[in-house]
Amino acid sequence: MAAEKVLVLCATGKVGRNVCRALLEAGFTVYGTTRTSPDRLRQQGVTPIVCDYTKAEDLDRALAESEAKKLFVISDYFGAAGRSVSREVEQGRRAFAAAKRAGVQHLIFMSVADAECFDDKTEHIKAKVQLEADLRASGLTYSILRPCAFFENLDDASNWNPLKRGVVKFLSDQPIKYCSTYDIGRAAAILFQDPQQWAGRSLDVISWQGDLAAVARALEVVSGEPVRPALSMPIWLRRLLLNDLHHMCLYFERDKGPKGEPEAFRQIVPDALTAEGWFRFHNRYADAEPIVRL
């Protein structure tokens, strides 16, 4: 039997590339959208569809060209939506409408764990709550993945946090629930393989919890070198410069963050990555040097 086709939107991003990787490993034929980097996708074994995933006509073409009846939808407040909640909602709705027109049989939407629980100043999560509601009312067969903080934030040069030897930085030094984007993909593969079981359901993607000191200890174990935990900026500056992300961090710190537990996610993905597991999986500093020394 031919492998089932999946179309991944936003396939070159931090989430998209690892979702593609996990879906390929699970045996799917994977198509991915990109405006600019088809070669990167090709090298990964993904068939690129050059288009802008925020445009209705491009989505229609991507679904027609791929003939995929499974669709992984990511919406993006900071990038594609230009920090506009209403634009992110419009873009998500456009993807759902295109899925309906194309007869998609199972759509997975990536939201955020506990999206409805963040305070009113956490702008970048608001669209997720609306889009989840839209999806429930859409008539599509859908599932929702709700990840917590990505380990990928620990090495994110585009957001001024490149991972360097001997130090690990984050916006909070408090206990935080983390997951890897690879495990979002591994969960997506499981859901796509069993739509009847997962139709209309959501799954929190949470694979590890620890404070920044525990993150640093994990990197020490993997790298064999001393690692210092450090806040990426003082809390007063975080409040001043990053109001939205500051309020997200407050939910993690003051309210203890998403209610889901790693043990629950491990029932679905038994070898979901811990901090040590993620540093091994990622295995590079921002300057491309490997973390694991032979």
Interacting residue with ligand NAP among 28, 31, 72, 77 (CB under 6 A)? 77
Interacting residue with ligand NAP among 92, 147, 257, 277 (CB under 6 A)? 147
CA–CA separation, 62 and 44 (whole Å)? 18
Instruction: Give, in order, the Cα–Cα distances in Å from 73 to each of 59, 99, 224.
Output: 11, 10, 38
176 binds ligand NAP (CB under 6 A): no
Cβ closer to ligand NAP: 94 or 124?
124
Half-sphere exposure of 28 (CA within 13 A, CB side): 30
Task: Give, rounded to a whole angstrom, the gap between the first and last alpha carbons of the chain.
Answer: 41
Residue 98 near residue 59, CB atoms below 8 Å = yes
Site for ligand NAP in 186-215 (CB under 6 A): none
**Candidate segments 7-15, 95-103, 224-232, 237-245, binder of ligand NAP by CB under 6 A:** 7-15
Q: Which amino acid is at 14?
A: K
Helices 56-66 and 85-102: angle between axes, nearest 10 degrees: 40
Phi, then psi, of 29 in degrees rounded to 5: -90, 120
**Candidate segments 72-80, 114-122, 229-237, 257-265, binder of ligand NAP by CB under 6 A:** 72-80
35 binds ligand NAP (CB under 6 A): yes
Token pair listed for 180: 């890897």
**Candidate segments 13-21, 218-226, 238-246, 249-257, binder of ligand NAP by CB under 6 A:** 13-21
Cβ closer to ligand NAP: 14 or 69?
14
Binding residues for ligand NAP, total number by CB under 6 A:
25
Strands 167-170 and 228-231: parallel
36 binds ligand NAP (CB under 6 A): yes
Token pair listed for 68: 């995929």
Residues in the chain: 294
Interacting residue with ligand NAP among 44, 141, 153, 174 (CB under 6 A)? 153
80 binds ligand NAP (CB under 6 A): yes
**Candidate segments 21-29, 51-59, 161-169, 227-235, binder of ligand NAP by CB under 6 A:** 51-59
Residue 273 near residue 281, CB atoms below 8 Å = yes
18 binds ligand NAP (CB under 6 A): no
Q: Which residue has the tokens 């694979």?
A: 207
Interacting residue with ligand NAP among 4, 6, 7, 12 (CB under 6 A)? 12
**Candidate segments 68-76, 237-245, 257-265, 272-280, binder of ligand NAP by CB under 6 A:** 68-76
Binding site for ligand NAP (CB under 6 A): 10, 12-16, 34-37, 52-54, 74-77, 79-80, 112, 124, 147, 149-150, 153
